[in-house]
């Protein structure tokens, strides 16, 4: 096998929202191609016209771009092997199908959908594997030509040798063998003139000079058909590497019924693209040093196809949230302020104020979509009548709590130029005089000033919103304390 330049591809169908599984395959394809100075291609398989969704190609391209997995060639970027959309390549498939018929590796099938449905029903009733019975291969050449001249609808099927086996190597799974008698004469060209994937995929891989077919394990059973086609045409086989299929927590194949599969959903929830890329890299592969946080560049340098495992990895959303939080904490304040902008559409916050308060919530964020809720206490005074004082009253009886808050208010008013350190020192001293735990007094202040029993660091919060505003909230909170 002669050495070839590395060219990888993904070939999704434009049937709706871009699937996270496609991005998983794209990551490995992009990293492998880039590390070997090759090209990564986006090709669109749109031959099933009943499932085609307008705009889906743009969504796929946008998802790849957002994850920084931009293709080097594709329908929207162009390239030397255009067109990259199968519905625009029909003459090529027709020509190849005719070559197969001429060489005896394919044949015309005139079976109607009704006959094929009856055939499948009978096989199911007898508990037989579904397969075509080859009735049309027994037609004489005269019968075939007569039906063609008569315009009888027909398909082109692959002629499978039913003796021996089909063997190929897979970089992840080793040597794989299929017994020929378990294969069926699949349709290659449909009666509507569109190819099936059994013809279009291997044909396009060859014509676009794809060197490495890196894709999901679920496609493994299609490879023997590709091998037979490559052999029929005398083409050089690509390198195959079938990635483990992403799984739900119950080990079932990841699907939108049990998990969120749309890339758009993850983007709208505020997951960072670099966190998703890092997370996907760990599904089926592990860092040689056991690291969990690493960049795409580091992954690219370390990736080998042989290191990818066979077993299906669990798509653990909780782990992704944790990892996303790690990446959020690594952002500079200015960069975080920029990234949260799309999630603050209903809240107008001056940029300088935003950058002052973001560090106080950055540690707690798992997703950018949580930012509006996290910043709510900084931008809107709490409703005094709805303050959760019950939490504080559990720690300190109501009369004592009122007294403590009034004394804390007086302490704050006595500070001419208050800062977080001074105020905290005064409050700790006051708690000691009252014989309280400092945390008990902090809780009452927290509820009154932030409107919550859980909030960012209290004294830094007061400094961020302004001491005058904090004092105003404190007075309002005391006034709203229940009488008994």
In DSSP notation, 361-376 reads HHTT-SSGGGHHHHHH
Between CA 468 and CA 460 the distance in angstroms is: 14
In what side-by-side order are the strands of the sheet with 174-179?
174-179, 165-170, 239-243, 212-216
Closest of 411, 430, 403, 420 to residue 461, by C-alpha: 420
In sequence order, the β-bridge partners of residue 239 are: 212
**Burial (CB count within 10 angstroms: exposed 0-12, middle 13-18, buried 19+), residue 379:** middle
What are the tokens at 244? 């483990």
Between CA 144 and CA 146 the distance in angstroms is: 5
Domain total in the chain: 3
Whole-model pTM: value is 0.91
Between CA 414 and CA 380 the distance in angstroms is: 26
What are the tokens at 436? 């309280």
Between CA 225 and CA 328 the distance in angstroms is: 46
Instruction: Assess whether 302 and 366 both reside in one domain.
Output: yes
319 flagged as catalytic: no
Tell me the H-state helices in 303-436. Answer: 317-330, 333-340, 351-362, 371-379, 390-395, 398-413, 420-434
Helix axis angle for 371-379 and 458-465, nearest 10°, is 70
Given 172, 198, 224, the domain boundary residue is: 198
Instruction: Assess whether 118 and 169 both reside in one domain.
Output: yes
Distance of CA 481 to the CA centre of its chain: 48
Instruction: Assess whether 341 and 390 both reside in one domain.
Output: no
What are the tokens at 374? 């996290």
pLDDT of 374: 93
pLDDT of 483: 79
Asked if residue 338 lies in contact with residue 371, where contact means CB atoms within 8 angstroms, the answer is no
User: What Å distances lie between residue 244 and 63, 72, 239, 241, 311, CA to CA?
Assistant: 22, 25, 16, 10, 6
CA dihedral 48, 54, 57, 58 (to 10 degrees): 180
Instruction: Assess whether 103 and 188 both reside in one domain.
Output: yes
Between CA 227 and CA 239 the distance in angstroms is: 11
Is residue 12 in a domain? no
Range of the domain at 345: 266-379
Is residue 96 in a domain? yes
Instruction: Assess whether 365 and 462 both reside in one domain.
Output: no
Kind and range of the H or E element at 443? helix 438-450
CATH number for the domain harbouring residue 273 = 1.10.1160.10
Is residue 55 in a domain? no
Kind and range of the H or E element at 231? helix 223-233
Closest of 195, 224, 230 to residue 92, by C-alpha: 195
Is residue 339 in a domain? yes
Given 198, 229, 244, the domain boundary residue is: 198
Give every residue of the chain whose pLDDT is below 70, as ranges.
Answer: 1-2, 256-258, 346
- At 453 the three-state DSSP class reads coil
Distance of CA 49 to the CA centre of its chain: 25
Tell me the H-state helices in 47-179. Answer: 56-66, 90-103, 113-125, 141-149
Q: Residues near 230 by Cβ (< 8 Å), separated by ≥ 6?
A: 202, 206, 236, 237
Between CA 405 and CA 303 the distance in angstroms is: 60
The label of the residue with tokens 């997951």 reads 271
Given the residues 30, 190, 253, 256, select the one marked as catalytic: 256
CATH number for the domain harbouring residue 132 = 3.90.800.10
Is residue 211 in a domain? no
Instruction: Assess whether 176 and 114 both reside in one domain.
Output: yes
């Amino acid at each position: 096998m002669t050495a070839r330049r590395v060219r990888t591809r993904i070939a999704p169908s434009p049937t709706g929202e871009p699937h996270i599984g496609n991005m998983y395959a794209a990551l490995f394809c992009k990293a492998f191609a880039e590390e070997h100075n090759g090209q990564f291609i986006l090709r669109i398989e749109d031959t099933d016209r009943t499932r085609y969704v307008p705009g889906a190609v743009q969504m796929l391209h946008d998802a790849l771009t957002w994850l920084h997995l931009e293709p080097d060639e594709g329908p929207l970027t162009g390239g030397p092997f255009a067109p990259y959309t199968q519905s625009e390549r029909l003459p090529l498939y027709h020509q190849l199908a005719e070559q197969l018929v001429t060489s005896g590796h394919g044949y015309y099938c005139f079976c109607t959908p009704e006959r094929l449905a009856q055939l499948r029903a009978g096989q199911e009733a007898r508990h037989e594997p579904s397969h075509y019975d080859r009735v049309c291969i027994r037609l004489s050449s005269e019968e075939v030509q007569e039906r063609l001249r008569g315009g009888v609808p027909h398909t082109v099927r692959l002629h499978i040798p039913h003796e021996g086996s089909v063997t190929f190597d897979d970089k992840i799974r080793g040597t794989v063998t299929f017994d020929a008698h378990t294969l069926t004469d699949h349709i290659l060209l449909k009666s509507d003139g569109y190819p099936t994937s059994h013809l279009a995929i291997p044909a396009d891989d060859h014509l676009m000079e794809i060197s490495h077919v890196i894709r999901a394990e679920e496609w493994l059973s299609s490879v023997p058909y590709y091998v037979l086609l490559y052999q029929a045409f005398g083409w050089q086989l690509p390198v195959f590497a079938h990635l483990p299929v992403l799984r739900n927590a119950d080990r079932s194949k990841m699907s939108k019924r049990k998990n969120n599969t749309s890339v758009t959903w993850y983007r709208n929830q505020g997951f960072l693209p670099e966190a998703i890329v890092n997370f996907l890299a760990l599904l089926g592969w592990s860092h040689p040093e056991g690291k969990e946080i690493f960049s795409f560049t580091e992954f690219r340098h370390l990736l080998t196809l042989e290191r990818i495992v066979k077993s299906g990895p669990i798509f653990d959303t909780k782990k992704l949230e944790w990892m996303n939080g790690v990446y959020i904490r690594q952002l500079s304040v200015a960069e975080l302020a920029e990234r949260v902008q799309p999630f603050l559409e209903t809240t107008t916050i001056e940029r300088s104020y935003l950058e002052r308060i973001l560090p106080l919530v950055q540690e707690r964020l798992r997703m950018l979509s949580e930012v509006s809720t996290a910043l709510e206490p900084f931008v809107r005074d709490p409703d005094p009548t709805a303050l959760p004082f019950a939490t504080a009253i559990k720690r300190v009886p109501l009369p004592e709590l009122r007294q403590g808050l009034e004394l804390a208010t007086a302490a704050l008013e006595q500070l001419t130029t208050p800062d977080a350190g001074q105020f905290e020192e005064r409050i700790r001293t006051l708690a000691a005089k009252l014989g309280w735990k400092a945390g008990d007094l902090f809780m009452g202040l927290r509820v009154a000033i932030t409107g919550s029993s859980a909030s960012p660091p209290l004294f830094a919060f007061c400094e961020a919103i302004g001491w005058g505003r904090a004092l105003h909230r404190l007075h309002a909170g005391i006034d709203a304390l229940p009488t008994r």
